[in-house]
Amino acid sequence: MSTGSGSDTNPVRQAVAQLADPEFRADPYSRYRVLREAGPFHSTSYGMNLATRYADCAAVLSSPNWGHDNQAARLHPTRAADEFPAVFLWMEPPDHTRLRGLVSKAFTPRRVAALRPRIQALAAALVDDMLAAGTSDLISAMAYPLPLTIICEILGVPAEDHPVIQRWSHMLARALDPDATLPAAALADRNTAIPEFLGYFLNLVRRERLDPGPSILGALVQVEEKGEKLTESELLGTCILLVVAGHETTVNQIGNGMLALLRHPDQVADLRIRRDLMPSAVNELLRYDAPVQMVNRFAKERVTVGGRVFEAGEGVTVLIASANRDGSAFPEPDRLDLTRYQNTPGTAPANRHLSFSLGHHYCLGTPLALLEMEVLLGEVLDRVTVLDLCTDTPSYKPDQLVRGLAELPVSFRA
């Protein structure tokens, strides 16, 4: 669906329209810049207000006065009210607090850290395959298989079912965009994917309840707090969240990060020499080209942000990727600087990027996402001497809320 500039010559309205147009996915950042410079908030055709600047975006994300109430009804009116089960990402306290607490008991830092050897082995095998091929699509050969395999193993999904999980994951991620911006085919895909996904994972949940295994899903069916366990609907909602957030967004994180590095060979050379920069590098890659470009929040009561008053129920689309490129928060925001998050004595730490959100909706899977990227990037730097980008115009998926490459042809040589 093309909602480009049309006959409207107003640059702000053009930029707002272009953010919803797949034809402009390759460069949303010039549109974000136009919007940031024009003002802190801009209205959309589907009733939301775009927040463009770091301070305002951080304020909305971290404030308890903003939540997810009415999101389904406002942005997904073609979706049945009970179509999705209980996903705690879209809940508010006290339900969110209870459910997130239960999930956290199963998704512990210790359990995530224990995944390192498996992630390392998978990364090594993927690099083996890419070196043997010489030239291949990094997205299908590396970015998809690593997080897909890990999240499926976490949930106890057998290997033969991984391809269908990948298909559902992409359909569900695409359907996060507002219905008003989606073509009919994407809405139809969602209507097909959701019942298939829920039916599949309902069988897994019931199997694990009868005989819990060593997977995180096995742990989730057993966690308990004050005599309460996760309901069947809550378990299904958690599966949706883990698959979409733990797979699709990580695919985009890997692809976007690798493209940024391929376009900045000087930064790659520095990182080869200074491996202590790896944590800083991964965070800078997340800031520079966020896999989740925007999220939605709704005012729970009358509230003022950035000098503007929002009435209860008004919606804001927080442009995370725009905030991450705000010059008032990040010096030289459009420059990739892998040392940006390196703690240097005598210098002020860099502002926190918003790619994992803030507040009580801060991403629970952050440690796993960082671990996968650090391990994979380390494996590539250890074993690949020459990394070449084989196109000047990589293609992007049409998604708006999440941003990721459809293909990334590269050449790897040892």
Tell me what the mean pLDDT of segment 372-385 comes to: 97
Residue 298 — φ and ψ, nearest 5°?
-130, 140
* Greater pLDDT, 197 or 228: 197
C-alpha separations of 363 from 43, 197, 354 in Å: 27, 22, 10
Tell me how far apart the alpha carbons of residues 372 and 367 are, in angstroms, rounded to a whole number: 9
Query: Each residue of 280-316: pLDDT tens digit?
Result: 999 999 999 999 999 999 999 999 999 999 999 999 9
- Tokens 């004595």 identify what position? 345
103-112, 165-174, 178-187, 269-278 — which one is most confidently predicted on average?
Answer: 269-278
Q: Which residues of 158-171 are buried (b: 16+ CB within 10 A; e: fewer)?
A: eeeebeebbebbbb
Query: Each residue of 60-101: pLDDT tens digit?
Result: 999 999 988 655 555 565 555 455 555 545 666 666 677 777
Poorest-pLDDT segment among 2-16, 171-185, 317-331: 2-16
Beta-carbon contacts of 332 under 8 Å, excluding residues fewer than 6 positions away, are: none
Q: In the prediction, which pLDDT does 2 show? A: 39
Beta-carbon contacts of 199 under 8 Å, excluding residues fewer than 6 positions away, are: none
Residue 101: what residue type? Answer: G
Closest by CA to 19, choosing from 305, 317, 248, is 317
Q: In the prediction, which pLDDT does 1 show? A: 34
- Tokens 């030239």 identify what position? 135
DSSP secondary structure string, 53-69? Answer: SHHHHHHHHH-TTEE-T
Q: In the prediction, which pLDDT does 179 show? A: 76
DSSP H helical ranges for 134-277: 138, 145-155, 162-174, 184-210, 216-220, 232-243, 249-262, 265-273
* Greater pLDDT, 180 or 114: 114
Q: Which CATH code is given to the segment(s) 45-413?
A: 1.10.630.10
- Tokens 């919606």 identify what position? 315
Query: Each residue of 335-378: pLDDT tens digit?
Result: 999 999 998 777 778 899 999 999 888 888 899 999 999 999 99
pLDDT band at 104 (very low <50, low <70, confident <90, very high): confident
Q: Quote the tokens at residue 314.
A: 């008004």
Q: Are 175 and 183 in contact (CB under 8 A)?
A: no
Residue 410: what residue type? Answer: V
pLDDT at residue 11 greater than cutoff 60: yes
Annotated domain spans of the chain: 45-413
Tell me what the mean pLDDT of segment 143-167 comes to: 94
Note the pTM of the prediction, 2 decimals.
0.92
Q: Are 190 and 86 in contact (CB under 8 A)?
A: no
